[in-house]
Amino acid sequence: MNAIVWAMAAPVAALLAMLASVVLSRKRDVQRRQVCLLLAISGLLSIAGGIIGLFAPPSTTSLPFGLPWLPVHLRLDALAAFFLMVIGLLLTAVAIYSVGYLRSIARERSLTPLGFFLSLFIVGMQGVVLADDAYAFMVFWEIMSISSYFLVTFEHEEESNRKAGFLYLLMAHLCGLLILGSFAILYVAGGSFEFEVMRTAELSPVWASLAFLLAGLGFGMKAGLVPLHAWLPEAHPAAPSNVSALMSGVMIKVAIFGFLRLVWDLVGLEQSAWWWGGLILAAGSSSAVTGVLLALQQHDLKRLLAYHSVENIGIIAIGLGLAMIFVHFGYPALAALGLVAALYHTLNHAMFKGLLFMGAGAVLHASGSRDMEHMGGLIRTMPYTAALFLIGCISISALPPFNGFVSEWLTFQAALMAPQLKDVFLSALIPFSAAMLALAGALAAACFIKVFGVVFQGVPRSRAVAQAREVDRWMLSGMAIPAVLCFLLGVLPIWVIPLIDAVPQSLLHTGISHSITTSGWLWLTPIAQERASYSPQIVLVVLLLAGFCFAMIHWRTRAKRRTAIWSCGNPDPTARMQYNATSFSQPLRRIFANIYQPQEKLLRSYYGHSLLVKKVRYAVHVRDLAWHYGYLSIRQFTEWLAKRTNWLNERPIHGYLAFTFVTLLILLGLLGVLV
């Protein structure tokens, strides 16, 4: 069967899930199961279509609807197939997880809006990946954006969720306009909305750079690159946890796909300037470090994970920036390595971030709270969730032998193997970016030591957490799928990279499969074995032997001396005496105080004397500088401008007609210049 038939069947299954959510609205239990089943089938079809598409030549088709003179064109090539596979992998796991997760929601509210917009959201993402003309791309893009707005505001009773939804919708439409501007440049140059024509369009360096900038800003805003990330830490915590897993795991990766499709495929890197890759590399480096620094200071579990999405999108951008630089200076093998590293991290991040958001949803489901300051000791009452969450923590911290290490190691190799470039700025930027990547990795490990320690270890800090119980088998099974894939992607990269290599073969006409397979299945060699190599299997065996030796030593010294915990003379140790999220991150808050600019408040109450302290209350707030100095300033300027131009709303009808006439003249003038 043709690969595109499998790919087209995936959104059809999602549309059936949308229909089931409406038809079965009065039978909530049946509705929940049927919608999740159809979404899981859509995920499996996406996986099948993606894998077949990676091996098959590009296939196209058109559907008889759309504009009267433009049917909807669809195309499945290696780039679309890879991202369709990524969407399918996480969607299948989330659909299984949702069978149990939605049970608690169904007791409180109708599932029809959630099932309807979740299915439409899936259709939008799959449609963007398959679109082969600008019209279809933008229609599916808007379907994805608008449906996800309703998912973010699903619990609209809370004011914070409504504000998060408004911010998300505002920035989603802004990025849509920027992307539309980039397509407009290609349309004027090629005279058609079809991607096949746009690929052959000839652009001047100025117009090509303008198309790149508009696409970079639009897709960068959707992906959450710093400083365009303001919506992400607000929207992801507001959405239901199964939706958060999809938004963070695959929706922001659809923006990565859009950037690759528009800039790499349609505009073409042969028209790129030297600074294109440098700009992406610098944006990725700043996002990687800024994201993890802000994540370290969060005590809301889902907000912390949202900031780590900013970090990991930065890591992906580092790989893409390196690849663009190497293409411009004529190093195709290194460019392929950078692209493979970015795509591998795209797949890895979808798995471990989906796992972590589902784990956060399990914790929220069991304890009723996202605040880590109220958690603790959950490893005793939720041991399976704790084990699966720990796999996600190890993976996102880039520790071997799990998958996060492989993709970050490949990114390091691309940076470390960079030759001396003619441009001095880029020659200095590449090692600086490698250093920022190393710093982000170390800080991520520290952050997830904090997360796992505060949430799962110690003793409960609230009665609700103490009464928490393990989630059901559906939720555990949904989390187990990405957990297993995190392990397999870390141990067997030699089997996965040849699949991903179809994308650089398509875009760059070169790949790294030949170097990967020369040293056999045991060694991963990006370029050559004498340059660098890594064996995840050997690392796994060494770690298992070390663990076995530790267990034997521990077993031989079973005698333990138990005594009461020293509590500074207090006879009754309490949960307040253990480290919480705020105290754990305090040293780093001091080190990076110039970046955080923390606002601290210390309040004391006394028993009538300054030496008799009754109660101490400490609060700290860390500002996102991009939000405080950027977006708030824009809002203040907009409000000031609106007040100053309020007189325009008081004009008579002749004034409005004059404004309309002048606007038409300006637009006609611009059209004449473009044509």
The DSSP-derived string for 466-530 is HT-----HHHHHHHHHHHHHHHHHHH-HHHHHHHHTHHHHHHTS--SHHHHHTT-TT-B-SS-TT
Q: Give yes or no: residues 489 and 347 share one domain.
A: yes
Amino acid at 279: L
CB 4 within 8 A of CB 49: yes
Picking from 501, 527, 559, the residue at the C-terminal end of a domain is: 501
**Confidence class for position 673, pLDDT limits 50, 70, 90:** low
**Confidence class for position 675, pLDDT limits 50, 70, 90:** low
314 inside domain: yes
Structure tokens at 162: 């409504």
pLDDT attached to residue 279: 95
417 inside domain: yes
Three-state secondary structure string covering 331-373: CHHHHHHHHHHHHHHHHHHHHHHHHHHHHHHHHHHHHCCCEHH
pLDDT attached to residue 633: 83
409 vs 66, higher pLDDT? 409
pLDDT attached to residue 657: 80
132 inside domain: no
**Confidence class for position 560, pLDDT limits 50, 70, 90:** low
Across 88-97, 151-160, 223-232, 362-371, the highest mean pLDDT is recorded for 88-97
246 inside domain: no
Q: Give yes or no: residues 489 and 634 share one domain.
A: no
d(CA 526, CA 333): 9
Picking from 501, 532, 551, the residue at the C-terminal end of a domain is: 501
210 inside domain: no
**Confidence class for position 59, pLDDT limits 50, 70, 90:** very high
CB 296 within 8 A of CB 310: no
**Is the pLDDT assigned to residue 316 strictly greater than 90?**
yes
Structure tokens at 256: 């990565």
Structure tokens at 171: 């920035």
Segment 538-542 shows an average pLDDT of 89
**Is the pLDDT assigned to residue 392 strictly greater than 70?**
yes
Closest listed residue to residue 349, CA positions, set 281, 292, 404:
404
**Is the pLDDT assigned to residue 447 strictly greater than 90?**
yes
651 vs 420, higher pLDDT? 420
pLDDT attached to residue 13: 94
CA atoms within 13 A on the CB side of 382: 34
**Is the pLDDT assigned to residue 558 strictly greater than 70?**
no
**Confidence class for position 609, pLDDT limits 50, 70, 90:** confident
Structurally, the chain folds into a number of domains equal to: 2
**Is the pLDDT assigned to residue 666 strictly greater than 80?**
yes
**Is the pLDDT assigned to residue 626 strictly greater than 90?**
no
Across 418-432, 549-563, 590-604, the highest mean pLDDT is recorded for 418-432
d(CA 12, CA 159): 35
pLDDT, tens digit (0-9, with 9 covering 90-100), for 292-312: 999 998 888 999 999 999 999
pLDDT, tens digit (0-9, with 9 covering 90-100), for 24-51: 877 878 888 999 999 999 999 999 999 9
**Is the pLDDT assigned to residue 611 strictly greater than 80?**
no
637 vs 13, higher pLDDT? 13
pLDDT attached to residue 247: 95
pLDDT attached to residue 559: 63
363 inside domain: no
CB 525 within 8 A of CB 518: yes
**Mean pLDDT, the chain, whole residue set:** 89
**Is the pLDDT assigned to residue 556 strictly greater than 80?**
no
Size of the chain in residues: 675
Structure tokens at 153: 């505001």
Reduced to 3 states, what is the DSSP secondary structure of residue 610?
coil
At 156, phi and psi to the nearest 5? -75, -5
Q: Give yes or no: residues 631 and 492 share one domain.
A: no
Q: What share of the chain has pLDDT > 70, as a percent?
A: 97
CA distances 50 to 36, 205, 286, 459, 530, Å, are 21, 35, 32, 45, 34
pLDDT attached to residue 584: 82
146 inside domain: no
Beta partners for residue 62, in sequence order: 73
pLDDT attached to residue 4: 87
pLDDT, tens digit (0-9, with 9 covering 90-100), for 236-288: 889 999 999 999 999 999 999 999 999 999 998 888 888 999 999 999 999 99
pLDDT attached to residue 535: 84
Q: Name the residue range of residue 436's domain.
A: 272-357+370-501
Picking from 501, 525, 548, the residue at the C-terminal end of a domain is: 501
Structure tokens at 134: 């600008």
**Is the pLDDT assigned to residue 530 strictly greater than 70?**
no
Reduced to 3 states, what is the DSSP secondary structure of residue 202?
coil
49 inside domain: no
**Is the pLDDT assigned to residue 146 strictly greater than 70?**
yes
d(CA 171, CA 121): 17
**Is the pLDDT assigned to residue 90 strictly greater than 60?**
yes
